[in-house]
Amino acid sequence: MFRALYTAASGMTAQQLNLDNIANNLANSSTTGFQQRQVNFTDLLYQNEIMPGAAATQQTTVAAGLQIGLGARTSETEIIQTQGDFATTGNPLDLAIQGQGFFQILLPNGQIGYTRDGSFHPDAQGSLVTADGNPLQPAVTIPADALSVTVGSDGTVSVTQPGQTAATQVGSIQTALFVNPGGLNSAGNTYICPPLLPVNLW
C-alpha cells in the first residue's frame, strides 16, 4: 500500500513540473523569439520480486520474472526547435530567421547572448541594437542619411544614400549554430547561452 502511494506521488510530482513548464510556454506564446521547452520523463528503479530465469520447480524456470516499478521522474527539459509564424511589421529591421540559427547579441556583462528575436533598430550612433539596447554582433551601422535599408536573405545589409543609384553594403548579419540547440540554457529576455556559461547574463 505505502509503495503504491509513493509511486503515485512520484508521478504527481513529475506532472506538476510538466504543468509548470506548460504554463510558462503558454505565458510566452506571444513573446517574440520565444522557444518553448518540452519536459521529458524517465522511469525510476524497479524492485525484482522474482528474477527472470529463477527456478519455478526442479525442472522449470520462470520465463518473465516479476518486477514492480517505483514511479517516474522528470529527466530533462529541452528547447523545441520549431519554426515560428512570420508577421509583417512594416519595419525593415524587424528580422526573422528561416530555419536554424540565432542572432548574436553583445550583453552588458561582455558575453554573447543568442536569441531568435530579430526586433532591431538603430541607436543614436546608427548601430543595430535590440529593443533593450544591446548591440548586434558583428556590429552593423546604418548611416544617418540612409534613405532605405535592405537585408538580403544571406544577411547582407545594404543602404541607399542620397546621390547614389546603387545600394551600398554596410555590414552582414551572421547567425550562430549549435550542435545541440535543445540543450541550451534559457537566460530570460529570450536569450539563451551555451551550457558551460553562467545563466545570469546581466
Residue with cell 525442472: 59
Cell of 96: 526573422
Among residues 125, 141, 123, 143, the alpha carbon closest in space to that of 133 is found at: 123
User: Cα separation of 200 and 202, whole Å?
Assistant: 6
Predicted confidence at residue 126, as pLDDT, reads: 92
| Below-70 pLDDT ranges, the chain | 1, 196-202
For residue range 12-70, list pLDDT tens digits in order: 999 999 999 999 999 998 888 888 999 999 998 888 887 777 777 777 777 777 888 88
Phi-psi region of 199 (alpha: psi -120 to 50; beta: other; left: phi over 0): alpha
Q: Burial level of 155, CB count in 10 A (0-12/13-18/19+)?
A: middle
146 alpha carbon, distance to own chain's centre = 34
What residue ranges in 37-196 does DSSP mark as E strands?
37-43, 46-50, 66-69, 72-79, 94-95, 102-106, 112-115, 118-119, 121-122, 128-129, 136-137, 148-151, 156-160, 168-172, 175-176, 185-188, 191-193
Please tell me whether the peptide bond between 138 and the residue prior to it is cis, using omega within 30 degrees of 0: yes
